[in-house]
Amino acid sequence: MITCKQVSTLATSGELERQSAWTRLEIRFHLWMCKHCSRLVRQMRQMREAGRRLRSTFESESPAGGDSGLEVRVLAKLRNPPTGNDEQTH
């Protein structure tokens, strides 16, 4: 039988969905039985929501600030790039 530690490890690493159908069934049953693991899974969801809210914060503080300022500045620099090598190794 799957343990709380195993469920928590999979939930925290984001690997619940990558498990076999049988394991996912085991996990669902475990979550139905275990309020602590359910809470942990809820925490993961809450952290994702918090991340999305932070994204909105950065969106609203963007130098673009609702207009196209950021894009205009970026385009201006692309038309007049700085001299020198700026090669990336990606």
Partner 1 sequence: MKQAELSESDALARLKNRDPEVLADLVNEHSRPLYRAARGMGFKEDEAEDMVQDVFITFLASIDRFEGRSQLRTWLFGILHHKSMERRRKRVREDQHDTIDEIFESKFDGSGSWASPPQDLVRLMESKQIGEAIAHCMEGLPPLQRSVFVLREMEGLDGDAVCKILEVSVTNMGVLMFRARNRLRECLEGRGWGKTQ
Residues that bind partner 1 (CB under 8 A): 3-6, 8-9, 12-15, 36-37, 39-40, 42-44, 46-55, 57-59, 61-64, 68, 70-71, 73-75, 77-78, 81-82, 85-90
Radius of gyration of the chain from its Cα atoms, rounded to whole angstroms? 22
Compute the least distance from the CB of residue 28 to partner 1, in Å: 18
Nearer Cβ to partner 1 (28/55): 55
Query: How far is Cα 35 from Cα 39, in angstroms, rounded to an integer?
Result: 6
Compute the least distance from the CB of residue 57 to partner 1, in Å: 5
Q: Which amino acid, one-letter code, is at 45?
A: R
Cβ 71 vs Cβ 64: under 8 Å: yes
